[in-house]
Structure 1
Amino acid sequence: MTCSLPMDNASVSPLLLARALDNHRALGMLAPATRSSLAKALVLLPASAGERLSGGERFRDHLYWLLEGRAELLDGDGDGVLELQAGDLFGLGLGDSLGICGARALTEVTYTRLDALTVQALFRETPGLTYFLGAVPDASGAVPAVRVDGGGPSDPALNLMSTPVRALIKREPVTLSPQTSIRDAARVMSDQRVSSALIVEQDLLFGLITDRDLRNRVIAAGLDPSRPIADIATLAPMSIDVHSPAFDALLLMARHNIHHVPVLDGLRIAGMITATDLTEQHSTSAVYLAGDIYKQTTLEGLQAVAGKVRRLQQSLAAAEASAHSTGHIVTAITDAITSRLLQLGEARLGPAPVDYVWVAAGSQARSEQTAKSDQDNCMVLDDAYDEARHGAYFKALSTFVCNGLDACGYVHCPGEMMAMTDEWRQPRRRWMGYFARWTGQPDPKSLVLTCVFFDLRAIHGNIPMLDRLRQDVLHRTKGNSIFLAYMVGNALQHQPPLGMFKGLSTIRSGEHKGTIDLKHSGIVPIVDLARIYALAGGDSAVNTHDRLLSAAAGGAISEQSARDLRDALEFLAFLRIQHQSRQIAAGRNPDNFLDPDEISNFERTQLKDAFAVVASLQGVLAQRYRM
């Protein structure tokens, strides 16, 4: 099985990976949509000659694909047993009869890997793969959850990045018409042994009914079971496309506290997936952690659940989940805690007197949080807001939520950029005035505020209010060269820590002497660059990765430069997450300060390369927007 990639590491793209998948003897058997999803999700891993690619239990937990170069399989004594060529697959129990325990690079190589759960899903979709790969270890198909101490195989909830939703559909959907009686629907669900059914009208998805609806909306409410199910159904439910990664389904469930999602192929109903299809009920799995959050009725209960976020990040780090995915998962939990606090606040204070939208700013808005995060948020109120009549209510609600977040580990913003601060809890017309002033008179304070409040995402409430505000802001910034020049100057205050000869420059004094601030010296400069591209292009994307993709598509930056920045961001954020995970495991509070001695020589070289990419593109923007 050989199919090498005729390229160097820097030029590998999802398109070329897809071509390699298409031409591979075994992996080419996968459906086109599945190959496309894998090409986007696979992470390319480089190794130098002599470097160990894998060993121990992890060797059996993953299927490896050698893309470039030569490697050798090792026995238990570390001796070479068999040489591998580009295109070969190894790991996951292959070669057990030879006592294979690991692999080592013979030349510079590029490789990637798929976890066992993903391979199991691929086997279910394409049984012919077993001819080439045999059976995946653990015939039951179950993969144990990761231990909170960082050992053991990876958590199934974390192995969905490259599994397509279609691979999780276990049976034909149970469908009913809207006129079906509640009694008949319950009988069908019982006979079919399902916890939900789809309501279909003229072959189109109309609604969804679950066991919970029968309990809460019928039995508990004393409703006549002869009434039609349309009376108790969730109409126009959230759905997901059959070709989407299963990871997207996990996020959808975690963010919206739902456990049943219809799967569509265009407009056609393809099936239904549930939370149990995605992951076992582990306390640190994102879907169930979010579900626990919405069950809490007190702040003390929320605090207890929020305490599991650090363990969740440890699980993600142990599974070597990408930083991009980790940020989305951890942020989804923050969103859930915020929404639940708002619900509890409204239950205590009564319904809001006018519409509002609670808005996340900063890393939460960008879905880039880690276990070490403070809070940045604000409130946009309807223009019907009157301070005399409504001020006390919203002051009390925002204070309750911000103090609740602080109690749950999301500490108060040192700069008080929170909704509990009067200045950041204003009607929409006032926010319009803020942005008009900041973009029209870009003094230093205005630039800082723009950096914080341009990264906004609605969490709870009247979401369209924020959409309209953001469109107005983008209209003001697009092509505004004077404002953008000031933004670039502000961004250049965060310089990568490279010395005169491009060596790493650590902090010289103080508490963190001898370390590198991965956040402010590495991640923040990339975030700043991506924000400027978005401001200049009028792009509504908020996540940094998405902004870089949009910037490349719009021509603001080359495809190669955008890819370099995305790779640099992923590497720096991944190092930060692994560093924080080690601190959590040692019982210390996580921070952003990495001692270069913690990482290998190879990683230090990559770190310098990542900083060099950032410095180079900062220089390009400085030339483009010279004052």
Structure 2
Amino acid sequence: PAHTSPSTTIRQAAVAMGEQKVSSLLILEGGQLRGIVTDRDIRRSVAEGMSSEKPVSAIMATNLRTATSETLVFDAMLQMAELDIHHLPVVDEGEVTGIITAADIMRLLQYDPIYLTADLSRRKTPEQMREVYQSAHTVAVRFIERGAGAEEVQGVLSVAADAMARRLLRLAEEQLGPPPVPYSFVALGSQGRREMGLASDQDNALVLSEDYRPELHGEYFRQLGSSVCQGLATAGQVLCPGEMMAMTDTWRMTVGQWREIFHAWITAPEPEALLYAQAFFDMRWVHGEEELARSVHVQAVESAAGSPRLHAHLAALATRREPPVGFFRGLVVDRRGKYANTLDIKKGGIAAVVQMARLFAIVAGAEALSTRGRLEVAAGGPVSAQSAQDLSAAFGFLNSLSLERQAAQTQRGESPDYHVDPSQLSKMERENLRDAFNIIKGVQSALSMKYPVRSV
């Protein structure tokens, strides 16, 4: 790959890039990667009036994220999008072997979420952002059609939703002025877990600094929350029916208030409250002061790990709805109404795995957020390694099947949902669906024995 040393001047680096027709130079010293300088860095240094005779070490980026030659394109792409970078060095066993650029990925993929998210920075209104968000859905549909795994597709949708929220928050800050106290905008539920589907709605909240005073700062954050949530809805991410959003007064709290409400959920859990409260254990920072969100989540996980009563309540939630499969492996469908002859693959399967994985991670005291990540860290502990592996496989299949159906609905101009008509599936798909449901049902049975109703 094109490279130079830390002592090379900015002018020499610019000349080298032009001669080699590259947009970046890796900075190596003694064969070790020290940093990277891009054409954007050089343009910025010129705009700031910096001398071109200064060494590139003065403007290079350090503490780089890297890939290996085994890194999947999807993973490299999502990493670039999340970090808002366009170059990713490739390092194998300590040796720099190459560099991946956004342009490389763009040439490989006709639609590129890196550029979809970058495109948002040029949009000034939610109406303009709607086109970008729809493009993200188009990307997801194309990935599904090309056989991409559920994790990759959900990652694309989650990255796009994060980027849209960040852009709307920045626009709100421009309009309202700088935030009067630090805050953190967090994603919850499927977006928090980076498991969004084509039918996912909003789940978000605000974590405010302890310096927050309602009488002084309340109106600012009320407007900020309303602006981002209404903007997301206009752009295409529908409002949460349960109003679990930053625009709702209830879900704008200080760090201390969040800790208090988590303490109440953990020490005195009530089933109905936990129905929506459990999604807050999926809390993930998106914008603002990351440490505010992290401090709440870390303490919540630590406290929840030592609460057998909470574990029992979460187990009851995870087992209250059995998968739609009968005694003789028959698939049980709705008999009447709008969804007659279909089954709900989310309520009957996906949600149960999400809830069980969340419980296992909480018992293990693990901070993992994704369902598969939670199953991995809990394997061999709160859940057997075999059950964790089986649940992960069932979860992957159900998500893939769901996304395929949602993609087909999107292509037909229909609103995507989680209802599947078994008669429209192949024989193998029906068998795999039965297997997935029976795996879930088996782990639910084991949970019911470990956490009987009387322990709740």
TM range (shorter): over 0.9
- Which residue number corresponds to residue 22 of structure 2? 194
Provide TM-score, normalisation by structure 2. 0.94
- Which residue number corresponds to residue 404 of structure 1? 231
Task: Give distance in 2, aligned partners of 1:357 and 1:281.
Answer: 35
Q: Which runs of 5+ in 2 are unaligned?
A: none
- Which residue number corresponds to residue 9 of structure 1? none
CA-to-partner distance for each residue in 1:238-264, whole Å, 9 max, x for gaps?
333454333321111122221112233
- Which residue number corresponds to residue 441 of structure 2? 615
Contact 2:2/2:24 (<8 A) preserved: no
- Which residue number corresponds to residue 214 of structure 1? 42
Task: Give distance in 2, aligned partners of 1:342 and 1:261.
Answer: 27
Following superposition, the deviation at residue 281 of structure 1 comes to: 7.6
- Which residue number corresponds to residue 73 of structure 2? 246
Secondary structure of the structure 1 residue equivalent to 2:26: strand
Q: How many residues align?
A: 453
Q: Which runs of 5+ in 1 are unaligned?
A: 1-171
Q: Which amino acid in 2 is paired with 1:533?
A: F
Following superposition, the deviation at residue 380 of structure 1 comes to: 0.9
- State how 1:202-351 maps to structure 2 within 5 Å: 204-215=32-43, 217-265=44-92, 268-280=95-107, 284-351=111-178
Following superposition, the deviation at residue 204 of structure 1 comes to: 4.5
Contact 1:257/1:294 (<8 A) preserved: no
Structure with greater helix percent: 2
Following superposition, the deviation at residue 506 of structure 1 comes to: 0.6
- State how 1:539-554 maps to structure 2 within 5 Å: 539-552=366-379, 554=380
Following superposition, the deviation at residue 443 of structure 1 comes to: 0.8
Of 387, 407, 418, the match for 2:245: 418
Q: Which amino acid in 2 is paired with 1:573?
A: N
Contact 2:267/2:307 (<8 A) preserved: no
Contact 1:283/1:289 (<8 A) preserved: no
Of 362, 373, 389, the match for 2:189: 362
Q: Which amino acid in 1 is paired with 2:173?
A: E
Q: Which amino acid in 1 is paired with 2:8?
A: T
**Does residue 184 of the first structure (1) align with residue 12 of the second (2)?**
yes
Q: Which amino acid in 1 is paired with 2:447?
A: L
Give the direction of change, closer, same or farther, for the CA distance of 1:354–1:269 in structure 2 (3 Å limit).
farther
Give the direction of change, closer, same or farther, for the CA distance of 1:350–1:262 in structure 2 (3 Å limit).
farther
Give the direction of change, closer, same or farther, for the CA distance of 1:404–1:274 in structure 2 (3 Å limit).
same
- Which residue number corresponds to residue 338 of structure 2? 511
Q: Which amino acid in 2 is paired with 1:609?
A: D
Contact 2:409/2:415 (<8 A) preserved: yes
Task: Give distance in 2, aligned partners of 1:506 and 1:318.
Answer: 27
Give the direction of change, closer, same or farther, for the CA distance of 1:376–1:173 in structure 2 (3 Å limit).
same
Please tell me the root mean square deviation across aligned C-alpha atoms, in Å: 2.0
Task: Give distance in 2, aligned partners of 1:302 and 1:329.
Answer: 16
**Does residue 575 of the first structure (1) align with residue 401 of the second (2)?**
yes
Contact 1:354/1:382 (<8 A) preserved: yes
Following superposition, the deviation at residue 510 of structure 1 comes to: 1.8
Following superposition, the deviation at residue 493 of structure 1 comes to: 2.1
Of 161, 171, 174, the match for 2:3: 174
Task: Give distance in 2, aligned partners of 1:601 and 1:268.
Answer: 49
CA-to-partner distance for each residue in 1:120-151, whole Å, 9 max, x for gaps?
xxxxxxxxxxxxxxxxxxxxxxxxxxxxxxxx
Q: Which amino acid in 2 is paired with 1:532?
A: L
Secondary structure of the structure 2 residue equivalent to 1:198: strand
Q: Rg: which structure is higher?
A: 1
Q: Which amino acid in 1 is paired with 2:181?
A: V
- Which residue number corresponds to residue 206 of structure 2? 379
- State how 1:13-32 maps to structure 2 within 5 Å: none
Q: Which stretch shifts more, 376-385 or 268-277?
A: 268-277
Q: Between the two structures, name the one with larger relative contact order (CA 8 Å, sep ≥ 6).
A: 2
Give the direction of change, closer, same or farther, for the CA distance of 1:586–1:456 in structure 2 (3 Å limit).
same
Identity of aligned residues (%): 38
Task: Give distance in 2, aligned partners of 1:278 and 1:557.
Answer: 39
Q: Which stretch shifts more, 443-452 or 310-319?
A: 443-452
Secondary structure of the structure 1 residue equivalent to 2:160: helix
Following superposition, the deviation at residue 265 of structure 1 comes to: 3.8
CA-to-partner distance for each residue in 1:194-247, whole Å, 9 max, x for gaps?
1011234565444322112223x1344444323333443334343334543333
Following superposition, the deviation at residue 267 of structure 1 comes to: 5.2
Q: Which amino acid in 1 is paired with 2:412?
A: A
